[in-house]
Amino acid sequence: MPQASVSVTPAWRRFRRNRRGSAAVEFALVAPLFFALLFAIIETSMVFFGSQLLETAIQDAGRQLYTHQLQDSGQTTAQMQAQFKADVCNRVSVLFTCPIDTDVRFYAAGTAITITDPIDGAGNYDSSGLTFLLPPGGSNATVVVRGFYQWPLFVTGLGYNIANIGRGTSNSKRLLTATTAFHVEP
């Protein structure tokens, strides 16, 4: 019995002409890049939105110091600090979980204002230099109020890293900072 020779050419032509599933293959090639870009855009917009929310909260809570509402409440400095932090936390509770670190300092009128960065050279956040110093009554000092929040990042594993705390580690975060400055009403 003679053996029939099987030709591969017609099968190859049928395979090349068949276009079913090409969209799925193309999507599988493009989808990881598309979703990585989409998540990076979403995370960046959330960081900007959170930063703006913190900025608004610090400005609004700082008005208590500007108008002497907090200083005239008859509380101790520790109580005023706790109340100030609680007020800031209440204003950002929609998006943040507390604690939010605050730094309140006053500078005599006409003196230079120096603001230090709480991120050290190694990229670690150090809140030990933050304080709550209010000007004495009747002064026209400049008060600088700052707020800090460590925003957790999720898309850093995809190669998009906007972290400024612990960059390159599994615990990388973005430090959101808000600042307001004003002269206290006498």
Query: Mind listing the pLDDT tens digit for each residue in 36-79?
Result: 889 889 989 999 999 999 999 999 999 888 888 887 778 888 89
* In a domain? residue 93: yes
- Can you give the pLDDT at residue 49? 95
* In a domain? residue 13: no
CA–CA distance, 42 with 82 (Å, rounded to integer)? 33
29, 21 Cβ separation under 8 angstroms: no
* In a domain? residue 153: yes
- Can you give the pLDDT at residue 11? 66
More confident residue, 151 or 1: 151
| Domain containing residue 97 | 21-183
- Can you give the pLDDT at residue 105? 93
* In a domain? residue 9: no
* In a domain? residue 2: no
- Can you give the pLDDT at residue 7? 60
Q: pLDDT per residue over 71-113, tens digit each?
A: 777 888 889 899 999 999 999 999 888 889 999 999 988 889 9
* In a domain? residue 69: yes
CA atoms within 13 A on the CB side of 161: 15
More confident residue, 34 or 14: 34
* In a domain? residue 4: no
In the chain, how many domains are there?
1
- Judge whether residue 1 has pLDDT over 80: no
CA–CA distance, 27 with 15 (Å, rounded to integer)? 20
Q: Using the CB atoms, write b or e for 95-110: b if 16+ within 10 Å.
A: ebeeebbbbbbbbeee
CA–CA distance, 8 with 144 (Å, rounded to integer)? 80
Residue 120 falls in which region: left (phi positive, over 0), alpha (psi -120 to 50) or beta: beta
130, 118 Cβ separation under 8 angstroms: yes
List, in order, residues 6 or more apart from 26 with CB less than 8 Å away. none
Average pLDDT over residues 8-21: 69
* In a domain? residue 171: yes
- Token duo for residue 86: 């609680």
Q: Write the CA distances from 63 to 59, 122, 160, integer angstroms.
A: 7, 35, 37
